[in-house]
A and B are shown apart, each in its own frame.
Chain A
Amino acid sequence: MREVAVIGVGMHPFGKHTDKTYREIGAEACRNAIEDANIDPKEIQISYYGTSSGLGAGYEALREIGITGIPITRVENACSGGSCAFREAYLAIASGLYDIALPLGIEKMRGLTMVEVGGGLTKWKADMQARKDIAGGIALSGMVNLPGFFALIARRHMHEFGTTREQIAQVSVKNHRNGAMNPYAQYQKETPLDEVLNSRMISDPLTILQCCPYTDGAAATVLTSKEIAKKYTDTPIYVAGSAQASGGEEIRTITTNEITVRCSREAYKRAKIEPKDIDVAEVHDCFSIAEILHYEDMGLCKKGEGGKLVEEGVTEIDGKIPVNPGGGLLSRGHPLGATGLAQVAEIVWQLRGEAGKRQVEGAGVGLTHTMGWPGEGVVEVINILRR
């Protein structure tokens, strides 16, 4: 296996872009990544694109910038689609089969429901047709929407560990503050604790400012081998380790996500690091409570102490373990298939020292993490990057 380097990253700003097509936002992200990598588009040999809603969107975006004829594969893994596209491209380069890869992610969600974005309505209708006998009753299992499920986690975490509403809401305060310093973020506004707690209640105890928004956006990266990277850049960022895991086993608790535990340990082992070696992390804060769970499950603190960690400022940009300096999903926004690549872009900027006002001083090792939910399963991806 070869060592792999990221030599270019690019984004289309996240937000509401109902006046633009998938092709347009995807092409802009690719163009920015290619320009950042200082390569000719014709040098791209393979591409994977993460998306849930964008059938064929990767082909359109790549053709727009003159990339045709190469293997292009759509990766659908719910909120982890972008991370998986990045990981597949990493494996393609590491194996030696390809030399230059461009993984990208494109999603448009504004004006759609979550079920429409995920294409779930088709499966839902077909399954209900097949199981008419239990359709009415089992519709109940569809009753839990995502804010609801994370509200259940929050309530149970409060019960088991004494975590407070204020501690949970503090994740949103921090990430909105960071996002206000990220020109690519959907929200450009700080939200004090009172505002977060008193915003519209969605699913108690989670208010609307503790739920990530619906977002249109795209992000792309360029990967090559360590040897080839030297031709293009003086600041390659290496992929030190990558891990992917899924769930499906019986759930025994909702306050520990065993998949995050497993996936992070595998990633640390592959990268030959420990949690204390991480200088900066971009994690899947789809809801405020999720980030607290990730702190604990990734070993950044002990189980039950996640609320205290954010309350004490440990995960702020100037704290000991900065988490989501780019604003996270809560503030940057969460276009499902693009999020994993936006996280890689943020970590690359951080490790190069190009993150501007939100720069984490002297960051040398960074981590990205997404948690996707394709139906009954859960898919987690962790990528570890280093200078």
Chain B
Amino acid sequence: MSALFKETSDGPRLIASKCKSCGKVYFPKRTRCPKCLEKGEMEEILLSKTGKIYSYTISHLESMVPGGPAPPFAYGIVVLPEGVWLVSFFEDCEPFDKTLKVDLDVEMFVDGNVFKFRPAERYPRRLNR
């Protein structure tokens, strides 16, 4: 089991740390807040499953991750409501030029031990998923 996410009744959720002093959220989790230093005690929180695309690209180069998708593949930056920026692969978003856009709502899912995002509207949320 990866230390990056936790299985919940709402499916896998990413594990982050929130500083009890300044409220800043860090992913992946860490033991001390680098801003508050020794005062910055952390609590563990689970991140939202949905966020918005901040920017994206379609890579025509091989993935740097062993076993990553074959090019061309999409990835980019997702901003979560907690203020966390994530770099992630985007899946189920073909055709790229029609589907991908800045500010698109995307939803996290786990593929093997890697988290990825896909367009939220293609996966209407169901209970107990």
Contact = CB atoms under 8 A, between A and B. Distances in A.
Contacts of B115: 137, 140
Most buried by A among B5, B58, B59, B63: B59
B114 interface: yes
Given A145-B64, A147-B61, A148-B75, A156 B54 contact: yes
B88 A204 contact: no
Interface string B1-19: 0111100000000000000
B56 A137 contact: no
Contacts of A202: 59-61
B57 A152 contact: yes
Chain A residues touching B, majority SS: helix
Contacts, number: 89
B81 interface: no
Contacts of A137: 2, 4-5, 28, 113-115
A133 B113 CA distance: 11
B77 interface: yes
A91 B3 CA distance: 47
B88 A203 contact: no
B64 A143 contact: yes
B19 to A, nearest CB: 12
B55 A142 contact: no
A136 interface: yes
A228 interface: no
Interface residues of A, number: 28
B61 A142 contact: no
A134 interface: yes
A144 B58 contact: no
A155 interface: yes
B106 to A, nearest CB: 15
Contacts of B66: 139
Nearest to A144: B87
Contacts of B61: 145, 147-148, 202-203
Given A140-B114, A141-B87, A153-B55, A204 B75 contact: no
Given A134-B2, A137-B115, 18 more contacts: A134-B4, A136-B2, A136-B113, A136-B114, A137-B28, A137-B114, A138-B4, A140-B115, A143-B68, A144-B64, A145-B61, A145-B64, A152-B76, A155-B76, A202-B61, A203-B59, A203-B61, A204-B58
9 closest pairs, A vs B, by CB? A151-B57, A137-B4, A156-B55, A136-B113, A204-B58, A152-B55, A133-B3, A159-B102, A155-B55
Interface of B: 2-5, 28, 54-61, 63-66, 68, 72, 75-77, 85, 87-89, 96, 102, 112-115
Interface of A: 133-134, 136-145, 147-148, 151-153, 155-156, 159, 200-205, 251, 254
12 contacts: A137-B5, A140-B88, A143-B89, A152-B76, A153-B55, A156-B102, A159-B55, A201-B58, A202-B61, A203-B61, A204-B59, A204-B96
